Amino acid sequence: MLIEHEGVSPTVHPSAYVAPTATLCGDVRVGHGCRVLFGAVLTAEGGPVELGADNIVMENAVLRGTRRDPLRLGRQVLVGPGSYLTGCTVEDEVFLATGSRIFNGARVGTRSEVRINGVVHLRTVLAADTTVPIGWVAVGDPARILPPDQHEAIWAVQKDLDFPGYVFGLERPAEGQSLMPALTERFGRALGHHRADRRADEAPTETGEASPS
C-alpha cells in the first residue's frame, strides 16, 4: 500500500518489488532491485526513508525517517524480520538480523553485522566491519559493545546521549516525575498529521472517486 503523507507519495523503482501488504507512507524512496516483503512498514515522519540499490527489507520490519534524522540504507543491506530502524544511517553491505534495533542518529558502518535482537543505541557510531553479538547493545561514539546485563555500564554512556532531548526536544524530568505526559502530547500531535493521509496507489474513476488500481 502506498500512502501520500503531507503531500508526498512514495516512489518505487520499476525493478523493485513491494509486497501487497507492505505499507509505504510519505517521502519513501525505494531504489533499484530492492525487495520489501509482507507486513513491512516504511514511513517518513518528517524526514525521508531512502533505500539504495538491492536492499532486502523482510517481513514486519519497521523503517522510520524523522525530521531530525532521515533514514538511509546504502547498497545490498538486509534488514531482518521484525527489525526496527528509526532515523539512522546504514552503510553498504550491512546485515541486520531478526529483531535488530537501530535508533535515532546512529550510523552502522559498511559490512557490519547486528545479530539477532542486537541494539545500536541513540547517536551511536559503529565502525566498518563491526559485529554486535546476539542480544548485545552498542552505545556511544565510538561504540562500546556490551552484554544486556551490564545495565549500569550501558546507562553511563546512554544517559549523556539524551534520548528525550534528542528525539522529542524534552528535558529529562526530575526523579519521581514522569516524562510520559509531555512526550505523548508532543508525539501524538505530530502523529496526528496522518489524519490527512490518502491512498496514493488508487486511480481515480470516471466519477472522480478513487478506486484500487
**Which has the closest alpha carbon to 128: 80, 89, 71, 72?**
89
pLDDT in single tens digits along all 213 residues of the chain: 999 998 999 999 999 999 999 999 999 999 999 999 999 999 999 899 999 999 999 999 999 999 999 999 999 999 999 999 999 999 999 999 999 999 999 999 999 999 999 999 999 999 999 999 999 999 999 999 999 999 999 999 999 999 999 999 999 888 889 999 999 999 999 999 899 999 997 755 454 455 443
| pLDDT more than 70, % of the chain | 94
User: What is the pTM for the complete model shown?
Assistant: 0.90
Cell of 10: 512514495
Q: How many domains does the chain have?
A: 1
- The pLDDT assigned to 207 comes to 45
- The pLDDT assigned to 201 comes to 78
Query: Any residues with CB less than 8 A from the CB of 16 and at least 6 apart, and which?
Result: 30, 31, 32, 33, 34, 35, 36
Q: Can you tell me the distance from the alpha carbon of 47 to that of 66, in angstroms, rounded to the nearest whole number?
A: 4
The side-by-side arrangement of strands in the sheet containing 56-57 is: 17-18, 35-36, 56-57, 78-79, 95-96, 113-114, 131-132
Contact call for residues 32 and 54 (beta carbons, < 8 A): yes
- The pLDDT assigned to 213 comes to 39
**What is the domain extent for residue 62?**
2-212
Q: Which residue has the cell 525530521?
A: 67
pLDDT, tens digit, 9 for 90 and up, residues 57-82: 999 999 999 999 999 999 999 999 99
Q: Can you tell me the distance from the alpha carbon of 134 to that of 115, in angstroms, rounded to the nearest whole number?
A: 5
- The pLDDT assigned to 85 comes to 98
- The pLDDT assigned to 175 comes to 86
- The pLDDT assigned to 211 comes to 45
Contact call for residues 48 and 29 (beta carbons, < 8 A): yes
Q: Can you tell me the distance from the alpha carbon of 64 to that of 79, in angstroms, rounded to the nearest whole number?
A: 13
- Around Cβ 88, how many Cβ atoms within 10 Å? 26
* R_g of the chain computed on alpha carbons: 18
Question: The CATH number of the domain where 137 resides is what?
Answer: 2.160.10.10
